[in-house]
Amino acid sequence: MVIFRIELRRSIAPWAGLALLLVALGFLFLLSGPWWKVPAPWTGHTTTTALWLRFLLVFLWPIAVGAGAIQGMRDSRSGMAELLATTSRPGRHRALRLAGAVGALSALGFLLVFAVGLGEVLGHGGFVSASFLPVVGVGLLAVVAGSWVGLAVGRLLPHPLTAPALAVLTLVASVLAWTSVDAQVLSMSYTRFALLAPALGQPRGALVTTSGSMDLGQTVWFAGLAATGFLLLAAESARARVLGLLPVLAGAAIALPVFPASTDGLLTPDAVAAQKRCDGPICVSRAHEDMLAALAGPGREALALLAKLPGAPTRIEEQTGPYSYTSPPARDPGVVYLDFQLNDDLLTADAAALRTAVVSGAGLPGCVPPSYGEVSDMSARMIAAAYFTGELRALPEYAGNWFRRNSPLVEPAWAKFRALPPDVQFARIVALRQVLLSCQGDPLDTLVPGARR
């Protein structure tokens, strides 16, 4: 323990942990990034906090690897390598203490960032569960593995350019891997090899977590990488160095087939936060359980309004799956889905707004990704909501208020639709529902032919 404490004081270990802590907190608090915004604010859920921390490993992992390389060059750069080789103590004993010090304090820096995030979640009244453990655990293992690989490379290649070159190469590899797994970036096609880096794409919702197959594969891979890093650090012969490569090769061979085959398999609904809480036909997630009482009354009223439609929906459920940047929302003829993650206005909406949200689009979402705000789609769903409520009002969703104020089509189209005979109005609402179910056809033209001309 005495030697271990000495390594803690005289090695780069404290500075490595401090660098990870300061860089991460600088990103989170000094930049107004997507981690402060819907659909996945980092203060909303402890698992979301962990996912954002994994995202930041794009920049943090190169720091851990580079710091390890700096420390790994110490003996050779100070002329101590030959002297230490003559001592009776096996090299693995010295390697264990050095690797333990650097790995432990690097991991501590990573954990302290999460501890700050946990405080933010508690301070903002977010949802707390133990679902973050696999996400944080894999991140910790990756940080330790990266620092140990850096130590090994620094010991084997004690050149002044080794540490900066290794850090830059790690950064480039991390960025390329991130662009492969982040659906919002789409600069590279997905490949399983991208999951050999620890960084994840931006979280696509506050009710999601990493899939079990990804956690398992990355645990095996980073364990193999850490083992190889340590064995190379402790190796004293060429044969030992060659044998030291076996764990990382075995880890890759096991992990790659286990990894998800597409980006759709990277994230999955959180079994705790997304757990259903129901009041009859009205269901919300456990994370938004306080919305159940507010939604129950308006939700039942809205279902009663929709009941006159053929094949009318009979349930209201919160959308708990990962948010897609490129695909339209999920739909089901028997279920009205509400998205509290993306449409955070719903969390503070009054009864009238909640009722409008349920009956918009005759109980169906649009056929474009929610952030697109296509004119025909949103106009038609607004008019459908007004048909049931008798009042044309902004939809309580992304860009809803802006669209209500700035679209020149909605008011004239609503006036034309309202002037139609009741049976024609009903038939067109039924037709709109079919268009939104199949996503075939123009929604606004279905309600008011020629409205866009």
Give residue 289's pLDDT band: very low, low, confident or very high (50, 70, 90): very high
Provide mean pLDDT across the span 133-137. 98
- Checking DSSP bridges between strand 315-318 and strand 335-338, what pairing results, if any? parallel
| Domain identity same for 219 and 131 | yes
| Domain identity same for 108 and 210 | yes
Query: What pLDDT is stored for residue 265 in this prediction?
Result: 92
Q: What is the pLDDT of residues 397-425, one digit of tens each?
A: 876 666 766 677 888 999 999 999 999 99
Average pLDDT score, the chain = 91
Q: How far is the CA of 49 from the CAs of 124, 200, 290, 354, in angstroms?
A: 12, 12, 21, 28
Rounded to an integer, what distance in angstroms lies between the CA atom of residue 212 and that of residue 229?
A: 26
Segments forming the whole domain that contains residue 429: 276-447
- Checking DSSP bridges between strand 276-279 and strand 282-285, what pairing results, if any? antiparallel
| Domain identity same for 295 and 230 | no
DSSP annotation of 50: H
Q: Is the separation of the CB atoms in 320 and 267 below 8 Å? A: no
Q: For 21, what's the count of Cα atoms within 13 Å in the CB-facing half-sphere?
A: 15
Structure tokens at 194: 């991208």
| Domain identity same for 246 and 341 | no
Q: How far is the CA of 289 from the CAs of 126, 353, 354, 356, in angstroms?
A: 12, 18, 15, 20
| Domain identity same for 351 and 240 | no
Residue 239 maps to a domain: yes
Provide mean pLDDT across the span 110-130. 97
Q: Model's pTM, two decimal places?
A: 0.92
H or E stretch covering 278: strand 276-279
Provide mean pLDDT across the span 67-77. 82
Give residue 90's pLDDT band: very low, low, confident or very high (50, 70, 90): low
Residue 329 maps to a domain: yes
Provide mean pLDDT across the span 273-292. 97
Give residue 8's pLDDT band: very low, low, confident or very high (50, 70, 90): low
Q: How many CB atoms lie within 10 A of CB 334?
A: 10
Q: How far is the CA of 448 from the CAs of 199, 374, 389, in angstroms?
A: 48, 16, 18
| Domain identity same for 81 and 119 | yes
Query: What pLDDT is stored for residue 332 in this prediction?
Result: 97
Q: Which has the closest alpha carbon to 207: 138, 139, 277, 272?
A: 272
Rounded to an integer, what distance in angstroms lies between the CA atom of residue 21 and that of residue 116?
A: 10
Query: What pLDDT is stored for residue 394 in this prediction?
Result: 85
| Domain identity same for 256 and 301 | no
Residue 18 maps to a domain: yes
The tally of domains found in the chain comes to 2
| Domain identity same for 215 and 306 | no
- Checking DSSP bridges between strand 335-338 and strand 267-269, what pairing results, if any? unpaired
| Domain identity same for 254 and 403 | no
Q: Is the separation of the CB atoms in 17 and 64 below 8 Å? A: no
Query: What pLDDT is stored for residue 83 in this prediction?
Result: 42
Rounded to an integer, what distance in angstroms lies between the CA atom of residue 424 and that of residue 429?
A: 9
CA 345 to chain centre: 21
Length of the chain: 453
**DSSP symbols for 386-418:** HHHHSS----SSTTHHHHHHH-SSHHHHHHHHH
Last residue of one domain, picked from the residues 269, 291, 321: 269
Q: Which has the closest alpha carbon to 313: 263, 266, 264, 364?
A: 364
| Domain identity same for 339 and 406 | yes
Rounded to an integer, what distance in angstroms lies between the CA atom of residue 18 and that of residue 60?
A: 11
Last residue of one domain, picked from the residues 245, 269, 293: 269
Last residue of one domain, picked from the residues 269, 294, 325: 269
Of the ranges 30-44, 177-191, 306-320, which one carries the lowest mean pLDDT score?
Answer: 177-191
| Domain identity same for 145 and 264 | yes
Residue 181 maps to a domain: yes
Residue 412 maps to a domain: yes
Q: What is the pLDDT of residues 179-224, one digit of tens each?
A: 999 866 656 789 999 999 999 998 989 999 999 999 999 999 999 9
Residue, of 127 and 408, whose pLDDT is higher: 127
Angle at 295 between CA 418 and CA 389, to 5 degrees: 10
Give residue 84's pLDDT band: very low, low, confident or very high (50, 70, 90): very low
Rounded to an integer, what distance in angstroms lies between the CA atom of residue 26 and that of residue 20?
A: 10
Residue 453 maps to a domain: no
| Domain identity same for 230 and 292 | no
Residue 452 maps to a domain: no
